[in-house]
A and B are shown apart, each in its own frame.
Chain A
Amino acid sequence: MKLALILLCILCQFFLVGGQLLLKKAMSPSAATILHSRRTRFFVGGIGCLTIWFFLWLGVLQQIDLSTAFPFEGLNPALLALGAWLVLKEKLTLTSWCGIAMITIGIVVVSGS
């Protein structure tokens, strides 16, 4: 697989996780109390990210087999945990990090089999 395709696969996951973080920000009560327009902006941004993810991912799936592309989905839980920790300031225990690592490995094993 070409390096460009691998990078594209990883970029896809960044858009997916970014979209989820924005949606969470849009739906969280702290955003509800602030300006309505800002909340809408988060929501639109989130949907926008997910739309970009969807078409990029379709593009990837046209180029390579589903079984080759799918292990990259394993990046999601790890990236998302990092994002939630850094951006949303959600606290994670050591057990949570271990659990996320296991989900990641599990997805790679499921999709690689």
Chain B
Amino acid sequence: MTAVNVEHQAPAVPYRFGPFAWFFNPYVQIGIGAILVAISELFLKKGASAAPQWGNIPAGLGGMAALASGWTWAGILFYILSFVSWIYVLRFVPLTVAFALINLVHVLVPIGAWLVLGEQIPIRRWIGIVLILSGIIMVVGPVAKAEEKL
């Protein structure tokens, strides 16, 4: 038994054949979406760090100051792209499975911050990353087996 929505059959995925068929595979799209979110988080962090300090103004306005940085806008753009991808995924994949997979972001962001921003990953964080990955595999594993045809 797998985590399949009992209300209805999932609709057929478009473009199941041809050179770009892989791109329309919802599971590939979840991966692309997770990478887009991770990139957007890194850009937003860069934008927020680049924001000018305006003395003792309220923190909310301080956040708006981040809009002065091009990095912030790049972050927003990538976030919108990830949303489009997510909406596509929701058409085909049970929410439980999609949401478990999108938790890859919690793994990609620390690793991205380590590789790109040079932030350190303490051993405890590595343990958390392994826990998240194991959890994802436990949720998604049975479904992946059932949907190998995809």
Contacts and interface: CB of A to CB of B under 8 A. Distances in A.
Interface residues of B, number: 46
Interface residues of A, number: 43
Contacts of A100: 96, 100, 135, 139
Interface in A48-100: 58-59, 62, 73, 76-77, 80-81, 84-85, 88-93, 95-96, 98-100
Give the secondary structure class of A's interface: helix
A65 to B, nearest CB: 12
Give the secondary structure class of B's interface: helix
A91 B69 CA distance: 45
B89 to A, nearest CB: 9
Given A80-B95, A99-B100, A113 B6 contact: no
Interface of A: 20-21, 23-24, 27-30, 32, 58-59, 62, 73, 76-77, 80-81, 84-85, 88-93, 95-96, 98-113
15 contacts: A28-B5, A28-B91, A29-B9, A29-B10, A81-B99, A89-B7, A90-B5, A91-B3, A93-B2, A99-B137, A107-B106, A107-B132, A109-B125, A109-B131, A113-B122
